[in-house]
Chains A and B, each alone.
Chain A
Amino acid sequence: DQQVKQNSPSLSVQEGRISILNCDYTNSMFDYFLWYKKYPAEGPTFLISISSIKDKNEDGRFTVFLNKSAKHLSLHIVPSQPGDSAVYFCAARGIQGAQKLVFGQGTRLTINP
């Protein structure tokens, strides 16, 4: 029972263009959503988050959009840079429990020069 799904295992984007990573969730009790970025042989690092009371959060080149009715969120990276090449994980936190995070399967983003 995958509560958080990233249906695209990989994405390839040209440098300078927009990267759009998608994430779907099934549990309407999730109240907070996060994106993590992971380089090889390193631990995931926090990138950006959004509360369920908002529909957009922006931080520099990164913007996360939340569509609660569709149970969908997306991460936009503009403009994409070679250093953005990494695996991106979507995560969601439920209201109940010890602030546990449920992660998606990850999307490998490759930025081509």
Chain B
Amino acid sequence: DAGITQSPRHKVTETGTPVTLRCHQTENHRYMYWYRQDPGHGLRLIHYSYGVKDTDKGEVSDGYSVSRSKTEDFLLTLESATSSQTSVYFCAIKDPNTEAFFGQGTRLTVV
């Protein structure tokens, strides 16, 4: 299995609070991604990174920000959580000649 760890695995938070999810890799892969999985929508890209300090928006980036200060860590922050951000979040890593490897996911509930 690819060395990718997401933390926390589960979190319940209140509307309006900030939340940070962490993705850590030990594979030294260049690309890192944050997806959310929702029924009927599959996996949708939130933000991605193509190098340290190099990030860009995906298709559902509103309400989310990311940071990558080190190759191994990619943080996803919900500045002010809303109920619509209740979801399962997956981090993925990739190199140019590999397929994407996914973490085990973080189940986030915003109440």
List A residues at the B interface (Cβ < 8 Å): 4, 6, 9, 34, 36, 41-46, 49, 89, 91, 98-106
Most chain B CB neighbours (cut-off 10 Å) among A43, A46, A89, A106: A43
Taking the nearest CB of chain B, how far is it from the CB of A29, in angstroms? 16
B104 contacts chain A at the CB level, 8 A cutoff: yes
Q: Which residues of chain B come closer than 8 Å to A9, judged between CB atoms? A: 40
Q: Which 5 A-B pairs have the closest CB atoms?
A: A43-B102, A98-B50, A103-B43, A105-B42, A46-B99
Interface residue total, chain B, C-beta cutoff 8 A = 25
- Report whether B104 and A43 are in contact in the complex, using a CB–CB cutoff of 8 Å: yes
Return the contact of A46 from the options B31, B42, B101 (Cβ within 8 A).
B101
B90 partner residues in chain A, CB cutoff 8 A: 43-44
CB of B74 closer than 8 Å to a CB of A: no
